[in-house]
Amino acid sequence: MSEIPYKIYLEESELPDKWYNVRADMKKKPAPILNPGTLKPVTVEELSGIFCEELAKQELDETTPYFEIPEEIKNFYKMYRPSPLVRAYCLEKKLDTPAHIYYKFEGNNTSGSHKLNSAIAQAYYAKQQGLKGVTTETGAGQWGTALSMACSYFDLDCQVYMVKVSYEQKPFRREVMRTYGAKVTPSPSMNTEVGRKINAEFPGTNGSLGCAISEAVEAAVAQDGYRYVLGSVLTQVLLHQSVIGLETKAALDKYGIKADTIIGCAGGGSNLGGLISPFAGEMLRGENQYDIIAVEPASCPSLTRGVYTYDFCDTGKVCPLAKMYTLGSGFMPSPNHAGGLRYHGMSSVVSELYDQGLIRATSVEQTEVFEAAETFARVEGILPAPESSHAIKVAIDEAMKCKETGEEKNIVFGLTGTGYFDMFAYEKFNNGEMSDYIPTDEELAKSISQIPKFDI
């Protein structure tokens, strides 16, 4: 076998032709999403009022294992995919570990993260349906940036409701979106009924993701030829993100490498779900075993400290109900939490795989996450996003365990994006001003107790 290069690039011809739907291989499927009014499983027709029809179908399809990637999406993917699988030789040397560490780098596109993989798919289906545009919300701006790029490529109008505090404090993110032609509105705005209401009730409010979602949904429904799109949590998003895992698997196979440990950061589950899909599929079919680790922030520990139950997907309570690991839709991470991964729940697919024991989960604190990020940046030369650095932290921990045991494990982790727009957080860390906060049992119990008991 040839020596393993620093970067394993697949050829364009090795780009996956199909997305993989891990639900098809699950004997026990994730619980269906429910209409919050009727508490019955949502139909394609109902979903198609908010989402594009093709995406509504993908969302609800539990049995089709593979979905053909349309030619136009493949052509877009070719501009930045297959993305590199990097052997972290320098990190291994720094840690002096016998482990072999690999990372799948998804920050090699202007949007700077894996979010683009689904954004381009969602924009494509919107265009196919003859829509004029889409609406969405964004917090820190990774998803909004990716969607703006994708809409620009397909010449779709893109309306982004950006949480007001981010709009003001992250002007660079805002300007990237505008450069791609998106209309970026600070939320709450005066464009929507819900925005006007909140502005009247709380003058000068900073906004919240929950409010921005509600505005984006209202704007989509209010305009002819518009639909709402979302960058994580949904099962359609995991489907599109399976391209990460499929490429990772193909690159490892090319060099005859069998992964032992697979690590991904977990917020809504889009990256983790995409990365692990084909590996989890092999486990579900009894073909292989992997140690899969979901890493979440200790400040927002939905898998490690949440409950597995039906809950609202959004703070505004306008979206369908999903059964998932959740801290309650009212849960907000402490204000000192710097990175993303702030979602109160978790993708229903990831939740079910976790419940079935195919995934284990761990939580880490942000100071140790930034320490890992700094170590990684200094030797591997990539400045990682705080989100991605959760996976780095645990990859380093696992590699250090190998140092103790002498095991030559193959550790693979997802490096979801770059940290160029997170320098305020790095500054805090560099100045020694970063602190950690773990919610108390009482706080979590209070938030969880507010999840309604649905009569299902």
Nearer to its own copies, 172 or 202 (CB): 172
* 102 contributes a contact to its own copies by CB under 8 A: no
Counting Cα atoms < 13 Å in the Cβ hemisphere of 219 gives 30
CB contact at 8 A, 134 and 151: yes
CB of 147 to its own copies, least distance (A): 13
Nearer to its own copies, 247 or 260 (CB): 247
CB of 15 to its own copies, least distance (A): 10
Nearer to its own copies, 14 or 291 (CB): 14
**Site residues for its own copies, window 273-302 (CB under 8 A)?**
none
Nearer to its own copies, 107 or 207 (CB): 107
Q: Cα–Cα distance between 177 and 175 in angstroms, integer?
A: 5
* 304 contributes a contact to its own copies by CB under 8 A: no
CB of 256 to its own copies, least distance (A): 18
Residue of 415, 350, 410 whose CA lies nearest to 381: 415
> Binding residue for its own copies (CB under 8 A) from 246, 426, 444, 451?
426
**Spacing of C-alpha 260 from chain mean position:** 23
CB of 75 to its own copies, least distance (A): 8
Q: 46 in helix, strand or coil?
A: helix
Q: Residues 360-389 vs its own copies: string with x where CB under 8 A?
A: -------------xx--xxxxxxx------
Q: Is the dihedral of CA 228, 231, 235, 241 positive or negative?
A: positive
Q: Assign residue 96 a region (left: φ > 0; alpha: ψ between -120 and 50; beta: otherwise).
A: left
Q: 422 in helix, strand or coil?
A: coil
Task: State which H helix or E strand residue 241 sits in.
Answer: helix 235-254
Tokens of 86: 């990097």
CB of 355 to its own copies, least distance (A): 38
Provide CB contacts within 8 A for 45, sequence distance 6+: none
Q: Cα–Cα distance between 246 and 81 in angstroms, integer?
A: 12
> Binding residue for its own copies (CB under 8 A) from 66, 420, 437, 454?
420
Residue length of the chain: 456
**Site residues for its own copies, window 59-78 (CB under 8 A)?**
75-76, 78
Amino acid (1-letter code) at residue 310: Y
Beta bridge partners of 321: 34, 312
* 197 contributes a contact to its own copies by CB under 8 A: no
**Site residues for its own copies, window 163-192 (CB under 8 A)?**
171-172, 175-176, 178-181
CB contact at 8 A, 158 and 148: yes
* 152 contributes a contact to its own copies by CB under 8 A: yes
**Spacing of C-alpha 10 from chain mean position:** 23
* 193 contributes a contact to its own copies by CB under 8 A: no
Nearer to its own copies, 221 or 379 (CB): 379
Answer whether the bond into residue 188 is a cis peptide, omega within 30°: yes
* 421 contributes a contact to its own copies by CB under 8 A: yes
Nearer to its own copies, 51 or 426 (CB): 426
* 418 contributes a contact to its own copies by CB under 8 A: yes
* 110 contributes a contact to its own copies by CB under 8 A: yes
Q: Cα–Cα distance between 3 and 181 in angstroms, integer?
A: 45
Nearer to its own copies, 233 or 373 (CB): 373
Residues lying near its own copies in the complex (CB under 8 A) = 5-7, 9, 11-12, 75-76, 78-80, 86, 89-90, 108-112, 149, 152-153, 171-172, 175-176, 178-181, 373-374, 377-383, 418, 420-421, 423, 426-427, 429-430
